Structure 1
Amino acid sequence: MSKIHASMAGNLWKVLVAVGDSVSEGQEVAILESMKMEIPIGSEKGGRVKNILKQEGDFVNEGDELIELE
């Protein structure tokens, strides 16, 4: 199982996947908002979304786990 982490601190503006979705390596799965900029978060590996650990609007710190893949 792999996890997708926040690359920087900010608000989780949008989650682009749902539980059960298949994702490929490099696919954008979420967007952070920080300092009025949108920062896309991509998956480092392919897999299926097992769990979404943070909700849209949550503040996240750099390194926080956002999504679990199986």
Structure 2
Amino acid sequence: MATVESETTAVVWKVLVGVGDTVEEGDAVVILESMKMEIPVETGEAGTVTAVHVKEGDAVDDGHVLVDVS
């Protein structure tokens, strides 16, 4: 199982996947917003989304787990 983590302190602007969705390596799964910039967060591994740990509007810090993929 792989986790997709935030690399910065930001707010979750948009969640692009749901549990059960299939993703390919490099697919954006969440878009963060920081200082009016949109930051796509990509998965490093292909697989199926097994959990989404955030919702739109959540504040996250560096290292916060956003999505699990297996």
TM-score by length of 1: 0.97
TM-aligned CA deviation for residue 7 of structure 1? 1.4
Name the count of aligned residue pairs: 70
- Counting only pairs closer than 5 Å after superposition, residues 10-49 of structure 1 correspond to structure 2 as 10-49=10-49
TM-aligned CA deviation for residue 55 of structure 1? 1.0
Gaps in structure 2 of 5+ consecutive residues? none
Match for residue 4 of structure 2? 4
TM-score by length of 2: 0.97
Could you tell me how far apart the structure 1 residues matched to 2:60 and 2:47 are?
23
Residue by residue over 1:8-50, the C-alpha shift from the partner in whole angstroms, topping out at 9 and shown as x without a partner, is 1100000001110000000011100000100000001111000
Gaps in structure 1 of 5+ consecutive residues? none
Runs of 4+ in 1 over 6 A off after TM superposition: none
Letter in 1 for 2:11: N
Match for residue 66 of structure 1? 66
TM-aligned CA deviation for residue 64 of structure 1? 0.4
Could you tell me how far apart the structure 2 residues matched to 1:48 and 1:55 are?
18
